[in-house]
Amino acid sequence: MFLSLYITIMMIDFATTSYYLLKISKKNMGILFLFYSLVCIFLIVSDSFTSSSVMMHHLCSPTEAFALLHFKQSFQISDFRRCLDVTDLQYVDIPKTKSWNEGRDCCSWDGVTCDLFTGHVIELDLGCSLLNGAIHPNSSLFQLHHLHTLNLAYNDFNISSIPHSIGRLTNLRHLNLSRSSFSGKIPTEISHLFNLVSLDLSDNYDGLQLDETTFETILQNLTNLESFFLVPKLENLKLGDNDLLKGVLPKIHPSNTTLLELDISNSGISGELPDSIGTFSSLDILNLKGCQFSGSIPDSIGNITQIRYLDFSYYHLTGHIPSTISKLKHLTILGLSSNSFSGEIPDYFSNLQELSYLDLSNNSFIGSFPSTIVSLTHLQHLHLSSNSLSGPLPNNFSMLQKLTQLGLWNNSLNGIIPSSLFSLPLLGELWLNNNRFSGLPNELKINPNFERLSLSHNQLSDFFPQSLVNLTNLSNLDLSSNNITIDEGIQITFPSLQILKLSSCELKEFPHFLTNGKRLLFLDISNNKIRGKIPNWFRGIRWDNLRYLNLSHNSLTGHLPQFHFHNLEFLDLKFNSLQGPLPSSICNMNDLEFLDISRNNFSNSIPSCLGSMSSLKVLDLRRNNFTGSIPPLCAKSTSLITIVLNDNQFEGTLPFSLINCSNLEVADMGNNAINDTFPAWLGTLEELQVLILKSNLFHGPISSCQSTLCFPELRIFDLSHNQFSGSLPAKVFGNFKAMIKLDGEDTGKIRYMEPDMIPLYTSYEDSVSLVIKGQDIELERISTIMTTIDLSSNHFEGVIPKTLKDLSSLWLLNLSHNNLIGHIPMELGQLNKLEALDLSWNRLTGKIPRELTTMKFLAVLNLSQNLLIGSIPQGLQFNTFENDSYGGNLDLCGPPLSKQCGTSDSSHVPQPLESEDESYFFCGFTWESVVIGYSFGLVVGTVVWSLVFKYRKPEWFVEFFEGIYPKKMRRSMKRAQRRQT
């Protein structure tokens, strides 16, 4: 009753105001009054009718209340308390259903809305209500026929499918089932919801599938549909696994669709972009980013004349952008990046005067910078990076008064960077890196808002650009890889500078202006020509924010000062000539994760506190002159992932504290003077992949592991040039599980770094130096297919164990220069990934087993200097080996040796070898010739599946160099790569 009175008053009020506002004539006013009076009478009558029914029932019908309660009871209330939204995080303590009880009118329950007049439940909002369980097809939910709005987003329906009975709720206008762990096929019955205005099925469990006919009927039947969201789960995108929604965009017939928003971005929908796209003529937003469409954009795109947001990025679209796009006069956001569009950037973008965001990056556009674009006065973001644009930039940017971000990196633009760019009042980020710009104007009126400027990898020369010195808000400056140096006298303040990258320039000294950089967080002046001692003023600096310091690849000398950078996380001093001891102040850097001081002349023993640094992940001390014993690494922490001590003069034994390094992946202690027995106890380190102990004073037999774990992940095992003795450790080999399975085929583990995942800091890649097929080669990256066992130059005795055959992924096996006896086991022929086998300089007897010819990748074979006899097997790879593979044996015959089989003089007894060197020449055998021999053959693999320590978290990262690896491998990697992208 009160309600209708209120409405009546409101209406009268409205009518009178309308009168004044619209100055309605008196006659019309009379008609209006009559109309309103009729409405009021109707309202009062109907209201008294409903009020009387209120007196008889609850406002909410008991059947509906019962249905709701029943629905509630069909779920568990889960205990996770977070509803993760892409944009914000909601925390839920009390589920909405908590207020649901029979004692109260159901219309007052949380999340329930009833029709004011009929009392029917018309809205059910249980978004983010901690519901857990499946919705049964007979669920009481489907008795709520009057529902207009149903929101079940952000719950957990337990990977169940969307029940087909949803089609019974024919009054639904808004249906939101997003982010709720639904899976399976989207039921066709959804297309029975004729009144649907918005439909959101985004971000559900992996398997939500939309078949083509359902999609087609949805678009065809739901003529009121205005928005349709079907974006798959975000986490899955990161894995690049976007085959979640299979199907193609249906070819719908010209119809009167009213769809305003269609977002099926990143779904697996594929095929050619249909010409019928133009029939969605009412669209305001079309987001097809990251779909799998191919072909070109159809001309009909020009029919969607109302569209404001169009995103076709990350496709396989080719050809030219159709000129009809110029009809889309309301476009404000246009994303066409990461396709294969070619030709010049067309002029007709200049018709899109509303554009505020234009992204054409990562295509194959050629020609010069499109001068017409500078007339788009609303433009805020412009990205043309990673194309093949060339020539100089125009100097008429002054119309782009709203531009805040300009990305032109990775093109071939040249000339002087125009001054009009810098004076744009709102421009804050300018990315011009990886071009051929040769300079900046001498005088620049730079807007003070400038924050980020990247000019790296250009051809700037001479001195630090004078025109940049007044950028008071600059926080991020990258000038690396240019030919610039810094004028001593230059006055630069940069009070806001946080990130400064000046690597690979021509700096001759530490830039003195850094004394002003109080907020510096990241400083990279690596790879310059800085000579001499670290200057005193730099020693004295206190940068409390500094996290990253890279001074590597210079010619720094003298002692390392006690730095005052207590918050440093990353310190790289490699490739300098620093000397003296490592100051213990390093250990005060509690957050230090990465310490690389390799390839210097540091000496003395290293501070034992290094073993207690709780954040340290990478410790690389290789190629210095450190002496003394290895400190107790991992004494108080388990963070170390990589320890490289190679090529120093460490003595004593391996510290037993290493057994705590549970995250250790790489342990390289080679080329020192460590006097110890085999550390079988390291076998318990479950992550250890690389163990290099070569060229030390290790001795004694290889004892088997005492625990069940025995180097389960080991791939590189190098004990060469020690004094190990006893028989070959057949049992230990048998436990090398990583060598038994082949990781290269297990692509599930391998992920690709995406551009936005590249950490702020650089990545450290583990590198080791191995004798690969006779040459000491520093591997820049360690691949997981490089499984090697090198036990050469020790005193091993006895026979070659047959069980070696089980190490099926073995890539290189070197047992040379030992005292091995017996036959070459024919089982070795089963090592079908083996590329190099060296058994030379032993006392092996018998014939060369024919089975070895089945090793189809074998590129290097050295069986020389043994006591082998008989004919050399022929065929396959064996036809590629030459004399030097067999020299110095007792009685081998047949090609490639000149000695023919069956003609030998049986009385002939070969002379025992006087010394190794003589026989070396006697055989005409040198490692170099071997290297040359195979470099035309099956090539040395260097970079494949890499073991990379990424600064923030270690992860498998894959990269490979074209042309180095055998074709077959390359193809399979490309396939893997394509699967990922």
Query: 331 or 837, CB closer to ligand NAG?
Result: 331
- How far is the first Cα of the chain from the last one, in angstroms, to the nearest whole number? 64
Classify residue 127 by its DSSP letter.
T
Min. distance of Cβ 303 from ligand NAG in angstroms? 4
Which is nearest to 639 in space by CA: 619, 653, 668? 619
Query: 660 or 671, CB closer to ligand NAG?
Result: 671
Query: 305 or 588, CB closer to ligand NAG?
Result: 305
Min. distance of Cβ 259 from ligand NAG in angstroms? 14
Tokens for 463, please give them.
């001195």
Query: 181 or 303, CB closer to ligand NAG?
Result: 303
Min. distance of Cβ 325 from ligand NAG in angstroms? 11
Min. distance of Cβ 697 from ligand NAG in angstroms? 5
Task: Report d(CA 537, CA 510) in Å as an integer.
Answer: 10
Task: Report d(CA 155, CA 132) in Å as an integer.
Answer: 7
Q: Does 679 bind ligand NAG (CB under 6 A)?
A: no
Binding segment toward ligand NAG, per CB under 6 A, in 143-151, 259-267, 296-304, 341-349 = 296-304
Min. distance of Cβ 195 from ligand NAG in angstroms? 17
Query: 220 or 604, CB closer to ligand NAG?
Result: 220
Min. distance of Cβ 354 from ligand NAG in angstroms? 21
Min. distance of Cβ 723 from ligand NAG in angstroms? 8
Q: Does 256 bind ligand NAG (CB under 6 A)?
A: yes
Q: Does 675 bind ligand NAG (CB under 6 A)?
A: yes
Min. distance of Cβ 912 from ligand NAG in angstroms? 29
Min. distance of Cβ 277 from ligand NAG in angstroms? 10
In 659-774, which ranges are E strands?
A: 666-668, 673-674, 690-692, 699-700, 716-718, 723-727, 764-765, 768-772
Burial 431-459 (b: 16+ CB within 10 A, else e): bbbbbebbbbbeebebeebbbbbbbbbbe
Query: Which phi and psi (to 5°) does residue 484 adopt?
Result: -100, 155
Q: Does 194 bind ligand NAG (CB under 6 A)?
A: no
Q: Does 583 bind ligand NAG (CB under 6 A)?
A: no
Query: 48 or 723, CB closer to ligand NAG?
Result: 723
Q: Which residues pair with 724 in a beta bridge?
A: 700
Min. distance of Cβ 255 from ligand NAG in angstroms? 4
Min. distance of Cβ 820 from ligand NAG in angstroms? 23
Q: Does 257 bind ligand NAG (CB under 6 A)?
A: no
Binding segment toward ligand NAG, per CB under 6 A, in 295-303, 329-337, 428-436, 579-587 = 295-303
Task: Report d(CA 467, CA 446) in Å as an integer.
Answer: 8
Total site size for ligand NAG, rule CB under 6 A = 10
- Residues 440 to 459 in contact with ligand NAG, rule: CB under 6 A: none
Which is nearest to 563 in space by CA: 532, 595, 599? 595
Residue that has been written with the tokens 């973008």 in this structure: 349
Binding segment toward ligand NAG, per CB under 6 A, in 163-171, 300-308, 562-570, 639-647 = 300-308
The DSSP code sequence of 933-964 is: HHHTTT-----SEEEEE-SSS-EEEE---TTT
Which is nearest to 790 in space by CA: 850, 865, 851, 715? 715
Among 300, 504, 648, 814, binds ligand NAG (CB under 6 A): 300
Query: 346 or 896, CB closer to ligand NAG?
Result: 346
Tokens for 554, please give them.
């210079």
- Provide the mask over 682-711, with x wherever binding to ligand NAG is found by CB under 6 A and - wherever it is not: ---------------x--------------
In 378-420, which ranges are E strands?
A: 381-383, 388-392, 405-407, 412-416
For helices 2-22 and 26-56, what crossing angle results, to 10°?
A: 160
Query: 267 or 695, CB closer to ligand NAG?
Result: 695
Among 119, 278, 729, 825, binds ligand NAG (CB under 6 A): 278
Binding segment toward ligand NAG, per CB under 6 A, in 297-305, 580-588, 829-837, 940-948 = 297-305
In 536-593, which ranges are E strands?
A: 548-550, 555-557, 570-572, 579-580
589 burial (CB, 10 Å; 0-12 / 13-18 / 19+) is buried
Q: Does 188 bind ligand NAG (CB under 6 A)?
A: no
The answer for residues whose C-beta is within 8 angstroms of residue 932's C-beta and 6 or more apart is none
Among 158, 176, 303, 624, binds ligand NAG (CB under 6 A): 303
Min. distance of Cβ 674 from ligand NAG in angstroms? 9
Task: Report d(CA 362, CA 411) in Å as an integer.
Answer: 10
Q: Does 504 bind ligand NAG (CB under 6 A)?
A: no
Task: Report d(CA 491, CA 440) in Å as an integer.
Answer: 18
Query: 255 or 318, CB closer to ligand NAG?
Result: 255
Min. distance of Cβ 653 from ligand NAG in angstroms? 8
Q: Does 888 bind ligand NAG (CB under 6 A)?
A: no
Q: Does 535 bind ligand NAG (CB under 6 A)?
A: no
For 810, 932, 943, the CA distances from 788, given in Å and listed in that order, are 6, 21, 15
Among 183, 255, 496, 603, binds ligand NAG (CB under 6 A): 255
Query: 282 or 639, CB closer to ligand NAG?
Result: 282
Tokens for 4, please give them.
């209708």
Task: Report d(CA 906, CA 453) in Å as an integer.
Answer: 81
Min. distance of Cβ 194 from ligand NAG in angstroms? 14
In 82-130, which ranges are E strands?
A: 82-84, 89-91, 112-114, 121-125
Query: 275 or 780, CB closer to ligand NAG?
Result: 275
Min. distance of Cβ 675 from ligand NAG in angstroms? 4
Task: Report d(CA 458, CA 830) in Å as an integer.
Answer: 52
User: Is the Cα torsion angle 229, 235, 239, 243 positive or negative in sign?
Assistant: negative
Residue that has been written with the tokens 């039947």 in this structure: 221
The answer for residues whose C-beta is within 8 angstroms of residue 412's C-beta and 6 or more apart is 388, 389, 390, 435, 436
Min. distance of Cβ 671 from ligand NAG in angstroms? 15
Binding segment toward ligand NAG, per CB under 6 A, in 298-306, 790-798, 801-809, 921-929 = 298-306
β pairing state of 452-454 and 429-431:
parallel
Task: Report d(CA 41, CA 928) in Å as an integer.
Answer: 107
Residue type present at position 506 = E
Among 167, 184, 274, 302, binds ligand NAG (CB under 6 A): 302
Q: Does 324 bind ligand NAG (CB under 6 A)?
A: yes
Query: 300 or 942, CB closer to ligand NAG?
Result: 300
Report whether 440 contacts 468 (CB < 8 A).
yes
Tokens for 697, please give them.
């004073």
Query: 31 or 697, CB closer to ligand NAG?
Result: 697
Binding segment toward ligand NAG, per CB under 6 A, in 294-302, 451-459, 476-484, 890-898 = 294-302
Query: 4 or 672, CB closer to ligand NAG?
Result: 672
Min. distance of Cβ 258 from ligand NAG in angstroms? 10
Among 13, 85, 299, 745, binds ligand NAG (CB under 6 A): 299
Min. distance of Cβ 299 from ligand NAG in angstroms? 4
HSE-up (13 A, CA, CB side) for residue 632: 8
Query: 297 or 868, CB closer to ligand NAG?
Result: 297
Q: Which residues bind ligand NAG (CB under 6 A)?
A: 255-256, 278, 299-300, 302-303, 324, 675, 697
